[in-house]
Structure 1
Amino acid sequence: MNTFTPAPQALDLGGSWNLTWTAGPVDAPSYATSGAPIRASVPGQVHTDLMAAGLLDDPDVGLREADQMWIGHSQWTYARHFAWDGTIAGERIELVAEGLDTFATVTLNGHEVAMTADQHIGYRWDVAHLLLPGENLLEIRFGSAWDAAHECEVQVGELPRPYDEPYPFVRKSACNFGWDWGPHYVTAGIWQPIRLEAWSGVRIDSIRPDVTLDGGSARVGITVGLDRQGTTSDVSVTAVLTAPDGSEVARSSVAAGADRAVLALEVADPALWWPTGLGDQPLYGLSVTAGTEGHVLAEGTRRIGLRTVVVEEEPDAVGTTWALVVNGRRVRVRGYNWIPDDPFIAEVTEERLGRRLDQAVDGGANLLRIWGGGYFSTEEFMAGCDERGLMVWHDFLFACAAYDESDAMIEAVTTEAEQAVARLSAHPSLVIWCGGNECVWGMYDWGWPEILQGRPYGAAFYTEVLPGVIGRLDPSRPYVPNSPWAGSMEKHPNSRDEGPVHIWEVWNTVDFVHYRDVDPPFVSEMGWCAPPAWSTLRRVVTEGDLVPDNPQVAHHMRAADGMEKLARGLEPYFGAPEAAEDWHYLTQMVQARSQAVGAEWLRTRERCAGVVIWQLNDCWPVLSWSAVDGDGIEKPVWYALRRSFAERMLAIVPVTAGGTDDPTGPDGLEIVLVNDGLDAASADVVVRRLTLDGAEVGRAELTLTAAPDGTARTALPAALTEASDREFLVADADGLRSTWFFVPDAALAPSGPSFTARASADGGFLRITVEAGSLLRDLCVFADRLADLLDVPAPDLTVDDMMVTLLPGETVTFTVSRRDGAPLSVPADLSVAERSPVIRCIGDSAALAGTPRPDAAEGTVAS
């Protein structure tokens, strides 16, 4: 964590404030227009304060989103009194606001202190001359960010963007204005801590370490940003580095310059920070003090990791490779995109954040990409990634739109970037900066030139402003101008030949087997949509069945033509399920299969150095691409990807890319062992060709040995790969399994699945054992459906596995537990836990229907 000012020199101004409505739409409710103060909590936002006061019903539920639209078009005032007795003293007394959302006028005792217009900037103002002995009044008046953005649009002119909302015109979280996975909640408020700080002589503004490795030692260059007061001279700065065990390993002191000090520390035999799975994550303590003649005037601390990171690009037969290299070792990325975990940041507690990061790591991920339409990461988020070995790709805050390049906008973005880089650059988990999301791509494919008519679209930010900040403040960390990116502004950014790419044509237009058409160097976005857990969707859909034509269900689907795309994905495999339970389960199965197929294919490609799924998390209960829904429940895709992201992974895939009209590919099938581990991996693989009733009709036995960060593969004999609509392949090796079906489910026409299930209590857990009497595909236990039986809220229950394929005679035991580790109180009658909808597998619903497309060869879903 980052600390600078000693605690006695700060007066926290958070906590209880008064909130009043100042102006706004004529349809604002009477509780607002009455002018009566509402208790507010700081940090916080207007929406959360109104909900806490019982004045606003949860806008996530039903169609209530419409009931809060007036909030974002209103003006609000936060006010609080505080006593000033000079307890904290210094030559300079500053009001420090780490984040104001967004257009604010700050007054102290009736005197204007400042006006703000950027959610992403922290502020500090000298207010010593405005403080009064005794009681003081601090007021912050917030204007409507939506109205301000609209006024700016009138002045600047139209800027292309995907939604008819003016988000590109203001420096505020873009997704506050709605997104294809998020609600339209235009927020306002004191969303970050606020306090008074006192200091004299010198203040430490930033601590930026820069690590280089040379043989068996590390050099830590440290740049300390300083703020001086008055005529203080002869300031010295001392940096002390302590090992993870607390022992001192290096110390250095220098005379400070006018606004900074530069020091260097040498560390022999350093303990290196590694991404999860490749080593440990030791964190060193860095303490910096500034003072005169032995008197400490300011101090700050950081936790840092010793590691290096570069992007390695090498020409190959296709184009250019693109890979992250940490401490000299290429790291195959298995990641997720991260969106804001809640529209209201104050709702994201450190405990909730920790659970979400654990879900990423437990699901096999080693990287999270912070998408550019939200906000800069918090210290808690980055510290959590440091500790877990989760690498962070961090976008700057631009998303899917053209942006004005006015002097005022350039100044604001420069300040944002300088503050963010200075604050976050010490974190070893941060491995790459990115200029923004899909902002260059838009100029090529989305008709922007016709709208802009020669006006700039933001290229100066990605090619000049942001790399300029990185070059000055964080020169050793890689930077990529945009995602996707093909190496220069002159190349189509989503070329599959070089740089990170986005794969969206699969979800948008074709069957998921077409992930196998491509062999890119790196994938920074791909995804498939599905509903959240049944309990999550049921919580917010208060009327009717959970089916696509229910208006409340449709309201919680924001993807363009999302319901039609879900239906297109279902058709070749499951036809058009009519029952709500079947539609819900089967759409989740298609999402899980699609991402497993895509991830496994990409991981078996030698040139592909990473796949980052869109997306890990949700910010509300929505049908989306997430692996973890808005209530924190893992969807089946999370379990499928946990296998596909495993350090060792076995997959049956076509021999070459493309040719998916032929289920086995133009050159047949191969079995691939993927090894992301530190040591070579060897596996004795048995590949069997089975009939649907489990009879073996063919077999191959082979051994695969994959080097670290490598793959091993061999083609399967034609005797195994000749297509049959009632046979399939299963490959087993040391607990790993991969399957291949030659035709989709709708063409299999199997008899209904046969199994027995037995539920029992076991030491505070619920165990559900399933024995297969026939082939069971995509066998799942949905723990949230046991909430009533176990008298536990659905989000607090979890199950250890899903997406299991069992052959006839095989058995699996699922364990249901509480997330907090407390024992379950299991009732005597567990019959509910032994049948649908708790237990589901393919074919346990109505007979499959529909005509499969010839290209819909499903392929491998490891289980």
Structure 2
Amino acid sequence: MPDEVVSPPDHLPCALTAQDLGGRWQLAGSVSEAWRFHRWHAELAQPVGAFARTAWIDACVPGSVHDDLLRAGLIRDPNFGLASLDAEWVSARQWVYRRTFRIELAPAARLHLCFEGVDYSAEVYLNGECLGTLAGTHTPARFNVSWLDRASEHLLVVVLQEPPAEAGQLGRTSRTKTLKPRAGYWWDFGARLVHVGLWRGVSLQADAGAAVLDVNPRVVLSDDLQRARVEVDLEHDGDLALPVTAELFHPDGRRERVTGSASSLAFSLEGPDLWWPAALGAQPLYMVRAWVTGSTPVKRRFGVRQVALVHNQASHQRGARPYTLAINHQPLYVRGFNMVPSDLIPGRAGVAERERTLVRYALAAHANLLRYNGVGPLASQAVLDACDECGLLVWQEMPLTSSGTDNVPPRSPAFLENLERDLPPLVRALRHHPSVVLLSAGNELTDAQRRPVTDADPTVARMAALIRLHDGTRPFLPSSPSGPEYDLSMPIAQERPHDLHDVHGPWHYRGVQDSYLPYTHNRALAHSEFGCQAASRESTLRRYLTDGPVWPMDDRNPQVVHHGEWWLMAHRIEEVFGPVEDLGHYVRLTQAAQADVLRHALGWNRARRGECSLALVWQLNEPWPNAHNTSVIDYDLKPKFAYYRCREANAPVALHLGLPAPVGDGSLCACPQVLADTAGSGRLTLSLYSVTGMTLLTLSRPVSWPAPGQPVSLPLSDTPGLLRAQLHGEDGTLLARTEQWIARAGAAPFAPIARLTQTTLSVEPSLTGVLIRNVGTYVAPWISVEAPAGVGEHLSDNGFALLPGEELGLRVSLDPPGGPANLTVQAINTAPVTLAWGPV
């Protein structure tokens, strides 16, 4: 059950103590303080005269101004073409929300008007009287309105100020003034769309003289994990002499209740139900609820678990920080994704479901942790609830981030004043969620010499102190990367590998050598951000690039530049594959390149599991439809090939080919290795095939793991070859497989693959999905299986090759399930095949 303010339980007085003031409001824009001149804050009606009467539009609260304008037809959807440029004016206005209401609550000693947060600041007027100000995206405010006449209708007006003038991606962090997330000020994964809105709940709260405002179930777990004390920390106001009642709901439905002073409420648990990450155990959730008689109860779900960062041998020897995450004393190899906002307009309908879908995709890709980067807002309650339920861990950074020109944490009095007000509510929103296991001050913060910040930085130190004060139960890192080197670069990897502790990068595709070799030489203890770009699905591109032709996909095309100007890669693709003149081919080749690089990176990091503790791909998702981006799932929630290769590399049992790069001179040395979460044994088969399916090399040998790989010399001919590895268990069960195109180094080494002779695919439905056959005489590389727009895909694989005469049964499930849809199946050298999909 999600965290929320709840109705009183049956044993409390049945009088209603909370009235939701969300829903339908009205909205109008104001240049500076025109609203004050027209008295919008105090009067509903405007007389006919020389000044035009205001054209109010319907607004939704909680919501976003952009979303309201979009529904009213006053702006084009910023996702399409160049339309976001025509919406930048929105943040240059003040915005006035208004509604009327009558009090529906029974008489009480006190009545408060409560706001859960505004983006970013506002003045509040009630019946023309200024109650005060709001500020902070997650910072609540309460106004005592006990004097309100219960027989009258009241006018509530909230005037949003222009948002603060923060920098986009290229600016100065040292000049940051607020903790407003900066993703919307322009970042490489989105347009400039500075969010404004009354984006959190509004309500009336009645009480009998005191109220519980927040509940924090602080769990103290014994070292042997056999006993726990749940201390119910309360934030409350009013008559502190009134007794507080707290109830504890066990995962099995049992209840306990205690009543006493606010400072003495606690529960003892013998043999508590422990909360575990996914794949290590169950995720039982407790819930605590607290109230003062006559007030609205507040409840919080929580889990019982212990979390710490501990040393592995390498971090200890290097004198580095500990980077191995341990849950309930169980060390983890952390694998997962970096996350950015799910939409630049958080008020859009369906955003919460988008977020839950992304959580499901991450879990299906064997991720155990998501890092919510400091460029965006906190992970939403929908995300955190979903992660609590499925066991996906969360690393949350505070909304403070690098800026390119400088990344130095701000120290101005204005920022520090905002920090004191706005950081505690951020921490309070996170602290009861068992999935949240790591906190940081922000993303890519450094000193003036671009060295990652340490705890000695005064701003970081103050943030750490505030986090300890309001939580103190989780590990804290000053930033990511946490240094001492910032980047993974070849010179550092080769000359000072022991200085690679927690590093970022690289991110760009740079061909068949430079895209791979940094990972091959990497010795980092934690690799918290690295990526590679690719184009979005062709259907996604054609849906959103509507202000002109989609092709060419380079800087000659204004739309392509607008939708991802940092990630153009046509020149690199042509260096590897030769000239490309077809959009469909181009999309598949970019996605094949991204998939190959990310699998390579994940494999080399995981192969160093005793040294490396963490590997996180940048990034799972994107908040805006990009032409090119480092996301592995595009804006329409369509997984790219890279998603499947990440899933392959992170699987409980995976194969790592141990190639330095996919090209070599004359021969190439592979060192195939089994990467598994638990020990085992089986048989490894390695095969090399020509484009016509001829076997060029094969070997099979028994293997046990964990163990290093054994080198194998692979001959390279003038035509690229398909290298495959398969692992079977002792009973013959296929445990893992992987494949890689390899070639002789030279100009456009994989051009022959991009221009292969045509072959033919046959596609048939099966009980669990589809059966795909290559019935031609040439290999079919990078086969894609795609469902239409609006239909979610869950496939057992995508972006694979089939040799001549080979077939593969693919498991398929679609969202929504059971409905008809056309699946399209195509390879680089085949015509598309369409299969009408429906219940078999």
Pick the TM interval, shorter chain.
0.7 to 0.9
- Deviations for 1:576-630, whole angstroms, at most 9, x for unmatched residues? 3122222222112111111111111111113111211111111111121111111
How far is the alpha carbon of 1:377 from its aligned partner? 2.4
Which of the numbers 403, 406, 411 marks the counterpart of 2:412? 406
Distance 1:367 1:487, change over 3 A: same
TM-score by length of 2: 0.84
How far is the alpha carbon of 1:297 from its aligned partner? 4.9
- Deviations for 1:325-379, whole angstroms, at most 9, x for unmatched residues? 1111111111111111111112244322221211111122111111111112222
**Structure 2 match to 1:452:** none
Instruction: Say which is worse superposed, 694-703 or 345-354, in terms of deviation.
Output: 694-703
Which of the numbers 419, 424, 427 marks the counterpart of 2:425? 419
SS at match of 2:362: helix
How far is the alpha carbon of 1:2 from its aligned partner? 2.1
Which of the numbers 598, 603, 617 marks the counterpart of 2:601? 598
Q: Distance in 2 between matches of 1:220 and 1:419?
A: 24
Distance 1:505 1:757, change over 3 A: closer
How far is the alpha carbon of 1:180 from its aligned partner? 0.5
Distance 1:303 1:530, change over 3 A: same
Q: Distance in 1 between matches of 2:303 and 2:619?
A: 27
**Structure 2 match to 1:855:** none
Distance 1:166 1:816, change over 3 A: farther
Q: Distance in 2 between matches of 1:136 and 1:458?
A: 51
Distance 1:394 1:186, change over 3 A: same
SS at match of 2:671: strand
TM-score by length of 1: 0.82
Q: Distance in 2 between matches of 1:664 and 1:416?
A: 59
Q: Distance in 2 between matches of 1:445 and 1:571?
A: 36
Distance 1:664 1:572, change over 3 A: farther
How far is the alpha carbon of 1:698 from its aligned partner? 3.8
Distance 1:755 1:33, change over 3 A: farther
SS at match of 2:439: strand
Identify, as 1 or 2, the structure richer in helix: 1
SS at match of 1:416: helix
Which of the numbers 4, 7, 12 marks the counterpart of 2:20? 12
Q: How many residues align?
A: 775
SS at match of 1:805: strand
**Structure 1 match to 2:670:** 669
Which of the numbers 168, 171, 186 marks the counterpart of 1:178? 186
SS at match of 2:657: strand
How far is the alpha carbon of 1:299 from its aligned partner? 3.0
What letter matches 1:681 in structure 2?
G
CA contact (8 A) 1:217 1:268 kept: yes
Instruction: Say which is worse superposed, 760-769 or 639-648, in terms of deviation.
Output: 760-769
Distance 1:690 1:349, change over 3 A: closer
SS at match of 1:134: coil
How far is the alpha carbon of 1:639 from its aligned partner? 1.4
Answer yes or no: is 1:525 the counterpart of 2:532. no
Matches within 5 A, 1:847-858: none
How far is the alpha carbon of 1:37 from its aligned partner? 0.8
**Structure 1 match to 2:398:** 396
Distance 1:609 1:283, change over 3 A: same
Q: Distance in 2 between matches of 1:308 and 1:186?
A: 38
CA contact (8 A) 1:236 1:253 kept: yes
**Structure 2 match to 1:807:** 803
**Structure 2 match to 1:271:** 273
- Deviations for 1:698-717, whole angstroms, at most 9, x for unmatched residues? 443333333xxxx4323134
Q: Distance in 2 between matches of 1:630 and 1:98?
A: 29
How far is the alpha carbon of 1:648 from its aligned partner? 0.9
Distance 1:88 1:488, change over 3 A: farther
Which of the numbers 129, 132, 137 marks the counterpart of 2:155? 137
Answer yes or no: is 1:100 the counterpart of 2:118. yes
Q: Distance in 1 between matches of 2:276 and 2:283?
A: 6
Distance 1:66 1:247, change over 3 A: same
- Deviations for 1:410-455, whole angstroms, at most 9, x for unmatched residues? 2322332211222221111001001100121674179x9xxxxxxx
Q: Distance in 2 between matches of 1:617 and 1:367?
A: 14
Instruction: Say which is worse superposed, 535-544 or 397-406, in terms of deviation.
Output: 397-406
CA contact (8 A) 1:774 1:807 kept: yes
**Structure 2 match to 1:554:** 560
Distance 1:427 1:586, change over 3 A: same
SS at match of 1:682: strand
SS at match of 2:165: helix
Matches within 5 A, 1:414-493: 414-440=420-446, 443-444=449-450, 459-462=457-460, 464-486=461-483
**Structure 2 match to 1:841:** 827
Distance 1:483 1:633, change over 3 A: same
**Structure 2 match to 1:75:** 94
How far is the alpha carbon of 1:794 from its aligned partner? 4.5
- Deviations for 1:131-152, whole angstroms, at most 9, x for unmatched residues? 563110010111221xx427xx
Answer yes or no: is 1:285 the counterpart of 2:287. yes
Distance 1:367 1:441, change over 3 A: farther
Distance 1:705 1:267, change over 3 A: farther
Q: Distance in 1 between matches of 2:132 and 2:646?
A: 49
**Structure 1 match to 2:739:** 739
Q: Distance in 1 between matches of 2:625 and 2:230?
A: 45
What letter matches 2:478 in structure 1?
P
For the aligned residue pairs, the C-alpha RMSD in angstroms reads 3.5
Which of the numbers 123, 129, 135 marks the counterpart of 1:111? 129
Matches within 5 A, 1:375-394: 375-394=377-396
What letter matches 2:397 in structure 1?
D
**Structure 1 match to 2:41:** none
SS at match of 1:174: coil
What letter matches 1:674 in structure 2?
L
Answer yes or no: is 1:757 the counterpart of 2:750. no
CA contact (8 A) 1:335 1:367 kept: yes
How far is the alpha carbon of 1:384 from its aligned partner? 0.5
SS at match of 1:149: coil
Q: Distance in 2 between matches of 1:324 and 1:814?
A: 35
CA contact (8 A) 1:511 1:569 kept: no
Distance 1:801 1:89, change over 3 A: farther
CA contact (8 A) 1:182 1:619 kept: yes
SS at match of 1:190: coil
SS at match of 1:21: strand
Q: Distance in 2 between matches of 1:725 and 1:739?
A: 19
Structure 2 gaps of 5+ residues are: 9-15, 35-50, 729-733, 832-840
Matches within 5 A, 1:685-724: 685-706=684-705, 711-717=706-712, 720-724=713-717
Q: Distance in 2 between matches of 1:397 and 1:571?
A: 39
Q: Distance in 2 between matches of 1:140 and 1:524?
A: 41
CA contact (8 A) 2:680 2:704 kept: yes
Instruction: Say which is worse superposed, 420-429 or 104-113, in terms of deviation.
Output: 420-429
Q: Distance in 2 between matches of 1:472 and 1:662?
A: 59
Q: Distance in 1 between matches of 2:130 and 2:32?
A: 22
- Deviations for 1:786-844, whole angstroms, at most 9, x for unmatched residues? xxxxxxx4544565421213333321244665311023166xxxxxx7xxxx4443456
Q: Distance in 2 between matches of 1:129 and 1:72?
A: 35
Which of the numbers 724, 728, 731 marks the counterpart of 1:730? 724
Q: Distance in 1 between matches of 2:252 and 2:638?
A: 37
SS at match of 2:275: coil
CA contact (8 A) 2:502 2:526 kept: yes
CA contact (8 A) 1:441 1:484 kept: no
What letter matches 2:577 in structure 1?
F
Instruction: Say which is worse superposed, 12-21 or 87-96, in terms of deviation.
Output: 87-96
How far is the alpha carbon of 1:80 from its aligned partner? 0.6
CA contact (8 A) 2:515 2:597 kept: yes
Q: Distance in 1 between matches of 2:304 and 2:665?
A: 49
**Structure 2 match to 1:359:** 361
**Structure 2 match to 1:59:** 78
CA contact (8 A) 1:752 1:843 kept: yes
Structure 1 gaps of 5+ residues are: 27-31, 151-158, 449-455, 785-792, 827-832, 846-863
Q: Distance in 1 between matches of 2:286 and 2:666?
A: 53
CA contact (8 A) 2:168 2:187 kept: no
- Deviations for 1:678-709, whole angstroms, at most 9, x for unmatched residues? x4332311123444443434443333333xxx
How far is the alpha carbon of 1:120 from its aligned partner? 3.2
What letter matches 1:70 in structure 2?
W
Distance 1:768 1:660, change over 3 A: closer
**Structure 2 match to 1:511:** 514
SS at match of 2:215: strand
- Deviations for 1:550-575, whole angstroms, at most 9, x for unmatched residues? 53432443343x22xx1354244312
Q: Distance in 2 between matches of 1:263 and 1:144?
A: 43
